[in-house]
Structure 1
């Protein structure tokens, strides 16, 4: 096996891991950065590979929700009030991360090189998720009652049960929660889902809104990173990104619906405990190497 073939195989593995972790609250970025270190993947110093292949996962969501995306686009431009309000909420939720991310991108990228950051964010994030899930207001009243691909009884705390019912204030809370997720190990999906739940959005609806918010967020991050650093990529690195991108797309394609089915019947506690366990494992690895 040639070094180049091994490089592409590693890129494929990283893409698969990205697709499987992007939409569950365990931090796909932390998984990618740790795996890059563990399998000695030759990533560039600006971590363009790790950022760009994440959009492969987002394309899978766009494809799976293509009818709803088209309804949103068509309704927004035709003046449909419901769709215009939904588009407004996505823009409101997107703007905080766009502005703060543009101002702090170099600092955020510098954190990618410090695995100790992952230990802190993974463990603390896990405990925050456990705290939220233990609150009676967010508990499922009837986890087994599932209709329409998993819609279940709502919690007493929720005031928005569908995407169209989300208010601009709730969208803003989700937007600022997404800013926290720029710190590696936090989890973009985890921060936006928990932020949405705390703002009064039902668990499944918060998950769906997180999926839709990922579309403009990761598109902007991908375009910005390629604009800033794409010219410095070698031919091999470009092919590696392409392979990882495709692998992330197909692995996410199989996961998204499963995530929605899972959260309609279960809490996020298993992911919280996984985060804590992974953080402890990373800490042990850091001190043992």
Structure 2
């Protein structure tokens, strides 16, 4: 065999190998890019929760590693929804924003990952844990229904809390791989307590924006006009209203703790937010239920320690 013929055979023989090597490198680079994108989405969701829901951020840090990523995705989704009312200039724009998230959910459950860090991370959470679409849809619909309207009675506020706070807790339980009726009951009571406390804590914030989310039945009972809530300041009648509503939250926490003896130990990490609720209710009582008191507007810097203590003692 002459040299020129041998050379041509060698070229033909090694061409496919070279092609396979190039393809492998391309696939490796694509995998690297996707990995970098996922890490970026995770970091953005974590940062969004840290800034917009600091208490939720602290509580989620104690989740096991894989469920923690999904838990941050759920909390980031909740944070995005909670910001809609304050981020749009009109009701129609708010509805458009909620419609955007409904479309994202439809894409997620059609196995099409949406663009953006929150949508992308939520897609991966659904793929990992088979999260219930109905709970996610409830979180959107509840906020859409109360975009610019308050509550007539405590039942409406509790229903809203069930569809937002309880829905979030049930999704966190799914991330932990827990399906348990007793856990669902505990989640319902803690979710209602969380929703009620959130409404109380946000009263000064909403008053500045000319919104009132205190149930109307309590205002009527204590002869308090909505204008008085908007005005704020020391007012014993308003304090009485806040006391009655805070008692409802306390009752739900008591029910949850009675039921908690029947739930798996690993489920209790989903309910670490009770530390936040206890802290606020204690502070509120100390200032005679003056919801506008300056001490209630500051962050609980000792929360990480109380959450850590609750986690290791396995309490709710």
Q: Judge same fold: TM > 0.5, yes or no.
A: no
Task: Provide TM-score, normalisation by structure 1.
Answer: 0.31
Task: Provide TM-score, normalisation by structure 2.
Answer: 0.29
Name which one, 1 or 2, has greater alpha-carbon Rg.
2
Q: Which has the higher contact order (CA 8 A, sep 6+)?
A: 1
